[in-house]
Amino acid sequence: MGVPDREFDADTLRKLEKLALRRQKLEEKVEATKDDDHDAIAALDAKFETLEGEIQQIEEAAPEYHSEATKSTATVFLMLYPNGEVRREYRIPRQTSHRPNGENAGHANGDASNEAKVRTADDLNDRQLACIFTHQTLAVREALLKAPGLRKRVLVLVLHTGVRSEALAVRHEANAVTLNAETDGFVSEPWKRLQERYGDLNPFPPDSWTDEESAFQALCGLPDARLNQLIDLLTVNLLTAHLQRPTALVCRLASELKLELRQTWLPDPAWLGGYQKLQLAELLAELHGSTSRAAYEIRKKSELVDMLATLFLDAAAGKLEDKQLAERVNGWLPGVLNDARAANAPDRDR
């Protein structure tokens, strides 16, 4: 990790810009001064020294400052020194280039290819990824109940010993999507409806184990119609997904079922809070069709989260007068889902 370049706050930058203008005027005077006018040159040298002293004084007195772009790529360390002093220091990934002879050239200042990537609204943390992929899989589960042809194929994948899959959890306790859906604070309408349906169909005592003979006896007493419904529900509940990247089968099923995640999922404050401040500002600028996020960066992170949550709610409720804005908001998805949807779209020509 490397130490980020020195940055200054807006007040310090204004002061330095004024001094830079003074320096420019002095340089123009130097250009216009004759080489044999030693008194004038000496006077200008004295002014340059005074100016350099003012610049140094302002830079030394400037508070520690890091831009949102730096913070979005940096790691913050609390450094405890032997004398008991605690300092906060920022480190950024060290960018290196390589000479043709293989020697490491170190940090390449000014090279755009070596600049650290600024996080955008498409860069999600693990919790955000787990949330959207859980929502997607739950929606597919529910939709499969109305698609017997696809459901039968899923059942074949579950039963066939020659098929390996990360999208089917035969051992329920290892089903990552179900475990994530059961965590406190997770809200999903498809999950709620699936659980209600399970409560109506389950012939065994809830929250307890039933031995196989007693379970078989209970199943023998079920009418075929209810047994078929239970099989359908248990089959779709086997569907699971990797929680940190798209799962091909889930994405393919969502495409076949013509499911859009935003039909059952709305970015809420808890999920939006996983973004960094710079990402929230970038997302607001993107949704409003602006090329600059500067107007949003000056606000607190909590304000940006509230603004986005309200925007998504109003768009979903049809309260936005700007139809183009409403369309952008209601259609927004992180890039990881758009890419997965495009990659797993079925070939209609086959």
Q: Does this model's pTM top 0.75?
A: no
Over pLDDT 70: what percentage of the chain?
87
| Mean pLDDT for the chain overall | 83
Assign 162 a pLDDT band (cuts: 50, 70, 90).
Answer: low
CA–CA gap between residue 278 and residue 298 (Å, rounded): 10
pLDDT of residue 214: 80
Question: Which whole number is the average pLDDT over 31-39?
Answer: 82
pLDDT of residue 97: 52
CB 294 within 8 A of CB 270: no
- Using one digit for the tens of pLDDT, what is the confidence trace for 205-240? 887 777 777 877 888 888 888 888 988 988 898 899
* Ranges of each domain in the chain: 10-61, 126-263, 269-343
Q: Within 10 Å of residue 337's Cβ, how many Cβ atoms?
A: 21
pLDDT of residue 317: 95
- Using one digit for the tens of pLDDT, what is the confidence trace for 54-78? 888 888 888 877 777 777 777 777 8
Higher pLDDT among residues 47 and 137, named by residue: 137
Higher pLDDT among residues 196 and 51, named by residue: 196
- Using one digit for the tens of pLDDT, what is the confidence trace for 167-190? 888 765 578 999 999 999 899 999
pLDDT of residue 110: 44
